[in-house]
Amino acid sequence: MKFYSLPNEIPENMLQGMALTHPHLTYLDGTGIMYDNQFDQNHVPIISGGGSGHEPAHVGFVGKGMLAAAVTGSLFVPPKAEYILQTIRQVNHGKGVFLVVKNFEADLLVFEEAIKQARAEGIDARYIVSHDDISVNVYNYHKRHRGVAGTVLLHKILGAMAANGATIDEIQAAAFELSVHIFTLGVALAPVSFPNQKTSFDLAANEVSFGVGIHGEPGYRIEKFESQERIAIELVNKLKHEIHWRHHEHFNDFIILVNGLGATTLMELYSFQYDVLRLMELEGINVVFSKVGNLMTSFDMEGISLTLCPVRDDKWLTALQAETSAFGW
C-alpha cells in the first residue's frame, strides 16, 4: 500500500508541506503555483511544471540558480492554462520569462495557451520544448521525443545562466542548442500502481520493459531480465547511436544523469551508475559531470533512465556545478 493524495486534485498537502519545510518557497493556495520568494528580480525567471507524481520535479528544482517557479497539476495531469498564466505574471519583472515544457500533447496545449495570453498582455514569454526521450512508438516506429529526465539538465543549466545575468535572448539561444544534445532512455522493472486502480501495464517479476515514459506508459520492448549490466549496455548503445545519428560527429566529454523512476533505491542507482561508467571508460568517453538520484520520477515506478549529453559548450558544465538552493537537486 502507499499513501496517496487524491489523484484528481492538486496535491495540496504535499505542496503546503514543501513550502513549510523550505523557507525560500512560497505556495499560492489552491493553484499549484510555488515560487522562490528570494528570487533576484534583475534576472530572467525560468518556469517549469506539469502534472504531479514526478517529485522532486518540479517544485524540488525551484530555488536560486534553478527555477523561479513551478506549477503543478494533479497526478500526471498538467495544470490549467490559467494557473500557468498566473505563474508567468507572478515572476515577470520585465526581463522576459522563459518556460521549460516537457513534450507531451496535454502539456503543450495548456502551456502554449498560457504563453499566448501572456504575450497578449505584453510579457516577453518564450519557451523550449524538452524532447530528450529517444524511445520509439511500437505501433508506427516513430520516435516519441517525449520530455523526460533530461529536462532537469535544462532546469539546472538555464537556471544557473539566468542567475549569472544572462538575457532572455541568451537563455533562449542556449536552450535551443542544449535541448538537441540531451538524450534519454528509460527501463522499467515494475509498472506504476495507480491509487485504487490497476497497474499502468503488465510486467512479470522477471521482465524489464525498455523505453518507458514518466507517466506509466509501457515501453517498446519487454525482455527477460538477464543482468543489470546487460541493461546498461542496451541503454548506452542506443543512446550512443542516436547521438551519432543526429550530430554526425565525435564528442569527447559527456554529462550523464542516472535517474530513478520513483521506487528505485540508491543501491540500485549507484550499482547501475558503476556499470555505465565502466562502459563509458571502455568507449573512451570522458564523463565530466554525473548526477545520480530520483530526480524525475514516474510516481512509484521501479526503474531507471539514463541521460547522455555531449558537451558542446563548456558553459553547460560551469552551470551544472554552480550552487543552488533547490532541495531536489
Positions marked active-site: 54, 215
Shortest gap between Cβ of 328 and a copy of itself (angstroms)? 8
Q: Which of 133, 45, 42 is nearest to 87 (CA)?
A: 45
Dig out the grid coordinates for 91 from the structure: 515572476
Site string for a copy of itself, 190-219 (x = CB under 8 A): x------------x-xxxx-----------
Shortest gap between Cβ of 272 and a copy of itself (angstroms)? 7
Q: According to CB under 8 A, which one of 5, 164, 199, 325 is a site residue for a copy of itself?
A: 5
Shortest gap between Cβ of 201 and a copy of itself (angstroms)? 14
Site string for a copy of itself, 247-266 (x = CB under 8 A): ---------------xxxxx
- Considering the complex, state which of residue 207 and residue 242 has its C-beta at the smaller distance from a copy of itself: 207
Q: According to CB under 8 A, which one of 105, 245, 267, 284 is a site residue for a copy of itself?
A: 267
Residue 65 in contact with a copy of itself, rule: CB under 8 A: no
- Considering the complex, state which of residue 13 and residue 137 has its C-beta at the smaller distance from a copy of itself: 13
Site for a copy of itself in 134-193 (CB under 8 A): 189-190
Residue 21 in contact with a copy of itself, rule: CB under 8 A: yes
- Considering the complex, state which of residue 139 and residue 205 has its C-beta at the smaller distance from a copy of itself: 205
Q: According to CB under 8 A, which one of 45, 50, 51, 56 is a site residue for a copy of itself?
A: 56
Shortest gap between Cβ of 209 and a copy of itself (angstroms)? 11
Residue 326 in contact with a copy of itself, rule: CB under 8 A: no
- List of residues 6+ apart from 25 with CB closer than 8 A: 18, 19, 34, 35, 36, 37, 59, 62, 63
Q: Which of 277, 329, 284 is nearest to 306 (CA)?
A: 277
Shortest gap between Cβ of 214 and a copy of itself (angstroms)? 13
Q: What angle do CA 269, 270, 276 make, to 5 degrees?
A: 90
- Considering the complex, state which of residue 14 and residue 168 has its C-beta at the smaller distance from a copy of itself: 14
The residue ranges that bind a copy of itself (CB under 8 A) are 1-5, 11, 13-18, 20-21, 52-53, 55-56, 60, 189-190, 203, 205-208, 225, 228, 262-275, 277, 290-292, 294, 297, 299-300, 302, 304, 328
